[in-house]
């Protein structure tokens, strides 16, 4: 076993963090617990970045190495461990929140539930300020049953839409609305109804069309698919649908660009050229995020170097999942000026320093394929292939296989006999695991196993190996999977959203809605957001 550094990182106090937020200075407040405990209670602008996945996500979420970072937990000791790890990765201004979650509360700080709390709170403020039109599920159902002249557009991700959707609805993710709806509803008398799973994306989507001056009557489906289900229509939802937006003619694209640009100007958005942003890639003075907000299929076909794909509607919905540094600069790109300007109009109202890139010439979109996240060098490890592991598992001296993948992946199928464990809870997991002469780490790709094998080696007497290529390599070799679960850690890596699927209780769905309704008052008590509604 190897010695582990136990040097204590410095602490930051609630008042210093609050002062930085009020002054709009850059700061990354990181909740390093797993997602479920994060969703139970956290400060408004605490971005989730679990200790378990630190190396996989830190360089993308924290691109500037000297940005002030404060890690937090609820007294589990994870914050100090994460601070030490971030320092090892080259970050120079890392501290730990004094007293953690309870210290924040005791100092008078407001605590928020669920995930994406800033965006959801902004959506409620938007609704309370502008009184975005909405229709209850019963009225929408009556319109559909009467074959009224109405178009229902679902603004969620395509995979969410496929899981369940309002009958007859078409998938048009949020940033695409101003570009696509005029083609789908050319008659200005057609009623347009915008829905999501709960409230936020439906409110923002409907208000996007209203703000951009669409002539049609527009309303949100009140409370989304939750409201539909609570009205007793859950069995009426469709599943597995593939209806999506269609291509638009150049005339509609140009009109959409004009509307979106005017709206962005009202919101205080700024514009930049490729030459303007070139120095910003160095990340030496300001943290800058470079984001392509188009549909993912467009991104794969051709995108700008160093820009990552985050469709605009999702970026507004879950900003802190991409931009973990509050006060940072965000640069948005598209090829027509519609999606980027619409997305920027919302981010500006959420007090982000946001720029839209003037659409560059076609030759600039030179990169193809998926975005590659920046990561630290992969450490050396003893690796074995799938066939070797298969032989070992069939021997009398079989190793213990530890699977670090997301529990959802583990649940769908894993290497026979493998135990599910959280990387941040190795010590606790070992108390539940059988002792062995050999341990083999895996995850889907093998990357998380690579980054964490030294930590396990420091805690066990046996030899630690990594499955080369992870469980994906095992599957590619044609080897079997099983679904029987062996849990060495609790499956808390992901918070189950009350609006996912239709299997949640009515009480849980209503409690979620009640929480959203209360967010405006929480914003007032917190006082650090600088949100504004135009």
User: What pLDDT, in 10s, does the model give residues 13-64?
Assistant: 999 999 999 999 999 999 999 999 999 999 999 999 999 999 999 999 999 9
The string of pLDDT tens digits covering residues 355-392 is 999 999 999 999 999 999 999 999 999 999 999 999 99
What confidence score (pLDDT) does residue 501 get?
61
State the residue range of the domain holding 199: 122-246
In the predicted structure, residue 508 carries a pLDDT above the cut 50: yes
Measure Cα distances from 453 to 85, 226, 421 in Å: 14, 42, 13
The closest of 219, 201, 212, 197 to 152, measured between CA atoms, is 219
Residue 478: pLDDT above 60? yes
Task: Report the pLDDT averaged over residues 134-155.
Answer: 97
Picking from 133, 138, 177, 135, the residue whose alpha carbon sits closest to that of residue 155 is 177
Instruction: Indicate whether 499 pLDDT > 80.
Output: no
pLDDT value, residue 502: 56
**Closest to 97 in 3D by CA, of 68, 118, 123, 120:** 68
Q: Which of 194, 218, 246 is at the close of a domain?
A: 246
Same domain, 298 and 340: yes
Report the percent of the chain where pLDDT is more than 70. Answer: 98
Can you name the residues that pair with 438 across neighbouring β-strands?
A: 463
The residue whose two tokens read 């292939």 is 385
Contact 151, 143 (CB under 8 A): no
Say if residue 277 is in the same domain as residue 213: no
pLDDT of 504 above 80:
no
- Is 428 within the bounds of a domain? yes
DSSP 8-state secondary structure symbol assigned to residue 465: E
Q: What is the largest CA-CA distance in the chain?
A: 74
pLDDT of residue 173: 97
Assess if residue 320 is contained within a domain: yes
Out of 93, 115, 137, a domain closes at: 115
Task: Dump pLDDT digits (tens) for 192-202.
Answer: 999 999 999 99
Q: What is the CATH number of the domain that holds 135?
A: 3.40.250.10
* Same domain membership, residue 199 and residue 135: yes
Q: Residue 406 and residue 412: Cα distance in Å, rounded?
A: 10
Structure confidence at residue 3 (pLDDT): 40
Residue with tokens 């160095």: 282
pLDDT of residue 506: 84
Name 218's bridge partners.
192
Average pLDDT over residues 146-171: 96
In whole angstroms, give the CA distance from residue 118 to residue 109: 15
pLDDT at 430: 97
**Sequence-separated (6 or more) residues with CB below 8 Å from residue 276:** none
pLDDT at residue 102, as a whole number: 97
pLDDT the model gives residue 338: 97
Q: What CA–CA distances, in Å, run from 309 to 113, 251, 354?
A: 27, 26, 16
Same domain flag for 319 and 348? yes
Helix, strand, coil percentages, rounded to 5, for the chain = 40, 15, 40
The number of angstroms, rounded, from the C-alpha of 17 to the middle of its chain's C-alpha atoms is 23
Does residue 378 lie in a domain region? no
Q: Which of 92, 110, 76 is nearest to 10 (CA)?
A: 92
- The percentage of the chain sitting over the pLDDT mark of 90, rounded to a whole number, equals 94
Q: What is the pLDDT of residue 505?
A: 80
- Residue 104's SS3 state is helix
**6: pLDDT confidence band, cut at 50, 70 and 90?**
low
Give the β-pairing of 438-442 and 400-403: parallel
Calculate ∠ Cα 518-520-522, nearest 5°: 75
Q: Does residue 41 share a domain with residue 136?
A: no
Find the distance separating the first CA and the last CA of the chain, reported in whole Å: 59
Q: Do 351 and 389 belong to one domain?
A: no
Same-domain check for residues 130 and 242: yes
Angle at 52 between CA 50 and CA 57, to 5 degrees: 65
In a domain, 194, yes or no: yes
Residues 67 and 149 reside in one and the same domain: no
Residue 374 covered by a domain: no
Residue at 430 is within a domain: yes
Residue 149 maps to a domain: yes
**Residues 138 and 239 both lie in one domain:** yes
Position 470 pLDDT exceeds 50: yes
Rounded Cα distance, 23 and 19, in Å: 6
Q: Quick one: 405 and 467 in the same domain?
A: yes
State whether residue 202 is helix, strand or coil.
helix
Residue 511: inside a domain: no
Picking from 115, 144, 175, the residue at the C-terminal end of a domain is: 115
Q: Are residues 231 and 277 part of one domain?
A: no
511 band by pLDDT with thresholds 50, 70 and 90: confident
Q: Band the pLDDT of 2: cuts 50, 70, 90.
A: very low
Mean pLDDT of the chain: 95
Question: What H or E segment, with its residue span, contains residue 211?
Answer: helix 200-211
pLDDT tens, residue by residue, 390-436: 999 999 999 999 999 999 999 999 999 999 999 999 999 999 999 99
Mean pLDDT of 162-166: 95
pLDDT mean over 261-275 = 97
- Record the pTM: 0.95
Does one domain contain both 324 and 216?
no
Q: Give residue 8's pLDDT.
A: 87
Please tell me the predicted confidence (pLDDT) of residue 503: 65
- Give the integer Cα–Cα distance in Å for 181 and 155: 11
C-alpha dihedral, 75 to 81 to 86 to 90, nearest 10°: 140
**Does residue 45 contact residue 118 with C-beta atoms inside 8 Å?**
yes
Q: What is the pLDDT of residue 1?
A: 37
Q: Structurally, how many domains does the chain consist of?
A: 4
């Amino acid at each position: 076993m190897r010695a582990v550094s136990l040097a204590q990182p410095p602490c930051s106090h609630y008042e210093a963090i609050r002062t930085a937020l009020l002054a709009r200075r850059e700061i990354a407040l990181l909740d390093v617990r797993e997602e479920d405990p994060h969703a139970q209670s956290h400060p408004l602008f605490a971005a989730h970045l679990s200790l378990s996945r630190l190396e996989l996500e830190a360089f993308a979420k924290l691109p500037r190495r000297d940005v002030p970072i404060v890690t937090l937990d609820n007294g589990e000791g994870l914050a100090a461990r994460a601070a030490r790890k971030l320092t090892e990765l080259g970050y120079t201004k890392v501290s730990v929140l004094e007293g953690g979650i309870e210290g924040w509360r005791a100092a008078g700080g407001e605590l928020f539930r669920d995930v994406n709390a800033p965006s959801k709170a902004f959506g409620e403020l938007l609704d309370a300020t502008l009184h975005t039109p909405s229709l209850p599920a019963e009225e929408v159902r009556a319109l559909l049953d009467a074959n009224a002249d109405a178009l229902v557009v679902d603004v969620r991700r395509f995979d969410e839409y496929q899981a369940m959707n309002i009958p007859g609805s078409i998938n048009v993710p949020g940033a695409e609305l101003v570009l696509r709806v005029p083609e789908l509803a050319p008659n200005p008398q057609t009623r347009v109804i915008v829905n999501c799973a709960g409230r936020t994306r439906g409110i923002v989507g409907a208000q996007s069309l209203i703000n951009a001056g669409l002539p049609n009557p527009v309303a949100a489906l009140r409370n989304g698919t939750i409201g539909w289900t609570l009205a007793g229509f859950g069995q009426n939802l469709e599943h597995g649908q593939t209806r999506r937006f269609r291509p638009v003619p150049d005339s509609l694209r140009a009109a959409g660009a004009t509307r979106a640009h005017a709206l962005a100007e009202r919101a205080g958005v700024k514009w930049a050229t490729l030459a303007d942003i070139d120095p910003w890639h160095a990340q030496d003075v300001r943290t800058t995020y470079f984001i392509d907000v188009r549909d993912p299929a467009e991104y794969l076909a051709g995108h700008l170097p160093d820009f990552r794909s985050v469709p605009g509607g999702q970026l507004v919905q879950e900003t802190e999942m991409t931009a973990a540094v509050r006060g940072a600069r965000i640069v948005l790109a598209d090829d027509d000026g519609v999606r980027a300007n619409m997305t920027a109009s919302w981010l500006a109202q959420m007090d982000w320093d946001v720029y839209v890139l003037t659409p560059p010439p076609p030759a600039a979109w030179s990169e193809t394929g998926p975005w590659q996240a920046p990561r630290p060098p992969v450490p050396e490890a003893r690796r074995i292939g799938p066939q070797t592991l298969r032989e070992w598992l069939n021997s009398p001296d079989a190793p213990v296989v530890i699977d670090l993948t997301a529990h959802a992946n583990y649940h769908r199928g894993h290497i026979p006999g493998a135990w599910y464990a959280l990387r941040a809870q190795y010590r606790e997991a070992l108390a539940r695991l059988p002792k062995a002469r050999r341990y083999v780490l895996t995850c889907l790709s093998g990357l998380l196993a690579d980054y964490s094998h030294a930590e396990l080696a420091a805690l066990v007497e046996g030899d630690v190996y990594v499955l080369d290529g992870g469980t994906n390599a095992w599957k590619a070799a044609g080897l079997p999977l099983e679904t029987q679960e062996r849990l060495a850690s609790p499956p808390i890596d992901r918070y189950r959203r009350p609006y996912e699927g239709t299997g949640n209780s009515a009480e849980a769905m209503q409690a979620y809605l009640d929480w959203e309704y209360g967010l405006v008052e929480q914003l007032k008590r917190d006082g650090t957001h600088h949100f504004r509604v135009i």
